Each structure stands twice: as structure tokens, then as C-alpha cells.
Structure 1
Amino acid sequence: MPSRSLFNRRPLLSVGLSLSLALASVLPADAATQLRIGYQKSSTLISLLKSNGDLEKALAKQDVSISWHEFPNGQPLLEALNVGNIDVSADVADTVPVFAQAAGAQLTYFAQEAPSPSAQAIIVRDDSPLRSVGQLKGKKVAVTKAAGSHYLLLAALAKAGLKFSDIEPAYLTPADGRAAFENRKVDAWVTWEPFLSGAQQQLPTRTLADGKQLADYQRYYLTSTAFAKNNPQVLAVVFDELVKTGDWLRANPRAAAQVLSPLWGGLDPAIVEQANARRSYQVRLVQPQSLKEQQKIADAFVAEGLLPKAVNALDVTIWKAQ
């Protein structure tokens, strides 16, 4: 059986956002000589750039070096960005900035990936009696809190005429969610790529719903507002390299899977390739109108009492290439 080390548990590296805000620091006004990049296992394009050295070569022309910092998921990643421990966040799911914004974090959107609705789904075991999302009422569902899959679950339940309170949520990391699902400790699991393809190819599963017609699943790249103001030339290089890498991956899916397989804990290249086929990897500048779904996400979480306060998702800073 293919290695599942991608799903192994990693210790949390973060503190709560409330503490993060209290400790927030301001970046120096002079130009950066080192770019500190935070990323996750699922940060595909940044993982490729870390592996091939292209970004380091491009930034060396500006006498800027790079340090890389891995996080278990998007929430601690943005917490680290907010307190000034990193300068740039690799892609995070659309829900994550909404939670950070609700906590008062001062962050700047600088790029986004086009929608990838099929890159997350609600799955059950193949022999489960559950055949529809409506049948999840009263059932235990594993989901990662504040992840994109969390919003997919809310949207799918609403479409089926259910509220979030109609299910029993089990807030679990992808690693713990996979274990609970595999050992039948939960009735369903909501997850994203590459965890989704890993489960589908290694276990007998059925899909109750994916993001199509429910959740666009746009992934965003962020930076601190101070870093964006002081280092536009650095962000321009990062943006250009992300675009190039996304283009290369789409043109070379098998080669990309071979590179990513060892980076993702020896995950079978066939699983990696399937996971990547469900992501757009089309990196583009963020336009205010493209944040409309961010408002839908915020409103859905507020309505269910899962977000501490209402958020104006358009009231954010967006970096513009010069």
C-alpha cells in the first residue's frame, strides 16, 4: 500500500489569534534582505518553487534570500504572518482569511488561484448507508475548523435544508480526520486535496458532494500590509514565479507529480496527479469583485454562530502589481 506519511500528525505551531494580535509587531521600513515564506503540505506551487530553486535565483538578483517555514494548516500560518514571524503566506483556503479578518488581523491579499470546486468533497465509506447530504442529520462528521471544507459542509447542509447544529461536528486536522474516517469513528469526512485523492484511492469511498455549485474554493496568497508597502518589487517576483510554476504544472502533470511525491511523504505519484488535476493552479491578481464569495463565506459562518462577529470581506487591502 502507498505510504500515508502525508497524513501523519504534526504538532501545532501556533497560538490563538487573540494572543497573536496582542503580540503583533511592525516590520521595518527598509527593504527586506530575506523573505520568510510560510507554507503547508498542500501548498503545491510554493513546494515546487522550494524544490527547484527558481524563486531563490530570481530574488538573488535583488540580494534577497529565502527562509522556508512549514505549518500544519492555514490558521497558524496566518497567525504567524500577522505577528511578523513570516512575510508571505503560501496559498490558504478562502475561509482562512475570513477568520483572520474577524480577529482583526492586518493582512494584504496579493494573489489568488482560480476556483477549484472539485478539490474538496464530503465522503463516506463505500458501505455506508448514507446516500445524500440530507442523511447526515444526527451524524458525526469530521471537518477541519475554518478550512475551506468547513464552508463546503455549511453550504451543502444548507442546500439539503439542514443547519450545522443538525450534525455532530468532529473538528479534526486532516491527519486525525483520515484516521477517524479509516477507523469508522465518524460517519463522514469533509476534506481537500491531496488528502481527498489519497482517501479515494486507498480506501473504498463514495462522494456525497463536492464543491461544484456550492463552493468555488479559491485559494489566496497573503502578505502583511507593511511588507507589501515596503517590498513591492519582492512581491512582483514572487507573483511572476507563481504564475510560471502554475503554467508548468498544468503543462507537465506527470513530471510535477514525480517531483511532489517525495515532498508529500512518498505519496503515490498517481494520487498526486489526480489531486493536482482537481486544482486550477491559475495564479492571478486579486480583483475586489472576486471576493464576493468571501462575503458569502463570512455571512454563512456568522449565521451559524461560528464566526465571532460580522465581517466586510471587501474591506481588505489588495496588492497591485506596479
Structure 2
Amino acid sequence: MLNPLRALTLGGLLLFSSLGHAAPAAPDALHIGYQKGSVSMVLAKSHQLLEQRYPQTHISWIEFPAGPQMLEALNVGSIDIGSTGDIPPIFAQAAGADLVYIGAEPPKPKAEVILVAQGSPIHNVAELKGKKVAFQKGSSSHNLLLRALQLAGLKFSDIQPVLPCPRRCARRLPAGQCRRMGHLGSVLLRRAAAGRRPGTH
């Protein structure tokens, strides 16, 4: 997904790169937004795939905590291209953002989870009624929460929304400052690796 001003040049560049044909002239600089949960972008960055393919282009990688922040930066021209989940672009375009899709990858439904802290008395979504629930507004976790509430026979108004950024929420969950969190698995995995493993349901 990218700023429409660079759609033609970059879209052709990436397409021809993947097909092995002669690419259009590469831009002098390219600012790429990514999240640690985007495996393809993390691999491209760590192995310097674009730097090797386009050595004359100065490539900058800018990390974002979640898709909505990345798309806001994309919309105002702070970055040229970014990779995010399926829901943030819908919210962004509904708000008037001018974005162009240049690629897609298969969905990963098991990469998204709903969490509670260890020892929580909450064991199913129906028990969230009246409770604080933290999520990133306009993200796939927002969509996950809405769908889970609907399946449990609850309305959004039945919960108390808490809207921190993903990393702040991950810190607050074990402390009991929010009852439940819908978020991407990458934050969970990084916290588990650091020995701070909240329970999952």
C-alpha cells in the first residue's frame, strides 16, 4: 500500500522485481513503514532484499506500533509504502485517505488472539460485559473484538473500551489495568520471549 503519487513508479518497480524483468528507474529514496508483526517486511528488512536489488536507492525503514499510525503517516507523505492488515485501510479510506493497494498476502487468522491476564476470572467473551477491554482503534484487533462480541450476543456498548497503543496495552494487561485485550500475536510472542507471558483464551 502506498502514497498514490508514487503508485505508478513503485508499483511497476516492485512488480518487475518479482518477475525478474527490467524495472523502471528506481527512486532516489524510499521510506518504508513496517510493523514487527509483518513477517514478509521484517524478512525483507533483515536480509536487505530491497537494498540489494536497488543499490542506488536510499531505503529507510520506519517501524510503527500498528496499522492506523502507519497509514496516517502514509496519507500525509511521511512514508512512501507500508504493509498492514486488512482492516486499517478500510478505516483510513472511510476517513478520506487516498491510498493505493499494490499487493496482498494470504490471511493469518491464527496470528490474532484475545488475551486475559493469568489468573483472570474471565473465561469467555460473554463475561466481558461491563469490563474494560483494550484494543487499537481502527485495527484488526478492533474488528476481532466487534466480531467476538457479536458472536457472544453482546453489543459494543456492553463493554468499556480502552484505547492505548499496542505496546502500552501489553504492559498494562498483566498489571490488571485492563481486563482483556484483542491484539496481534507479535506483541504476545515478544512478551512471552521476555518471560512476561499473559494467559490466552
Query: Into which bin does the TM-score normalised by the smaller protein fall?
Result: 0.7 to 0.9
TM-score computed with the length of structure 1 as normaliser: 0.52
Match of 2:131 in 1: 139
Match of 1:40 in 2: 35
How big is the shift at 1:113?
Answer: 1.9
Match of 2:12 in 1: none
Specify the SS of the correspondent of 1:37. strand
How big is the shift at 1:27?
Answer: 5.6
Partner letter of residue 46 of structure 2?
S
Asked whether the equivalents of residues 143 and 191 of structure 1 are also in contact (C-alpha less than 8 Å), the reply is: yes
Match of 1:196 in 2: 188
Match of 1:93 in 2: 85
Q: How does 1:19-38 map to 2 (within 5 A)?
A: 26=5, 32-38=27-33
Match of 2:19 in 1: none
Q: How many residues align?
A: 181
How big is the shift at 1:25?
Answer: 9.5
How big is the shift at 1:58?
Answer: 1.0
Partner letter of residue 66 of structure 1?
I
How big is the shift at 1:100?
Answer: 1.0
How big is the shift at 1:199?
Answer: 4.8
Query: Quick one: which of 50, 55, 59 aligns to 1:55?
Result: 50
Distance 1:92 1:83 in 2: 16
Gaps of 5+ in 2: 10-24
Asked whether the equivalents of residues 124 and 189 of structure 1 are also in contact (C-alpha less than 8 Å), the reply is: yes
Gaps of 5+ in 1: 1-23, 208-322
Deviations 1:184-214 (A, max 9, x none): 111111111211234556335131xxxxxxx
How big is the shift at 1:151?
Answer: 0.5
Superposition RMSD on alpha carbons, in Å? 2.4
Identity among equivalent pairs (%): 42
Distance 2:84 2:66 in 1: 8
Distance 2:128 2:186 in 1: 24
Distance 1:203 1:121 in 2: 13
Q: How does 1:1-322 map to 2 (within 5 A)?
A: 26=5, 32-60=27-55, 63-89=56-82, 91-199=83-191, 202-207=196-201
Asked whether the equivalents of residues 96 and 146 of structure 1 are also in contact (C-alpha less than 8 Å), the reply is: yes
Change beyond 3 A, Cα 1:160–1:199: farther
Distance 1:99 1:28 in 2: 20
Specify the SS of the correspondent of 2:36. coil
Match of 2:14 in 1: none
Deviations 1:24-60 (A, max 9, x none): 9956998522222112232332222222222211123
Distance 2:50 2:157 in 1: 45
Distance 1:76 1:179 in 2: 19
Asked whether the equivalents of residues 4 and 98 of structure 2 are also in contact (C-alpha less than 8 Å), the reply is: no
Asked whether the equivalents of residues 26 and 84 of structure 1 are also in contact (C-alpha less than 8 Å), the reply is: no
Distance 2:187 2:147 in 1: 20
Specify the SS of the correspondent of 1:141. strand
Change beyond 3 A, Cα 1:56–1:160: same
Asked whether the equivalents of residues 133 and 160 of structure 2 are also in contact (C-alpha less than 8 Å), the reply is: yes
Specify the SS of the correspondent of 2:138. coil
Structure richer in strand, relative to its length: 1
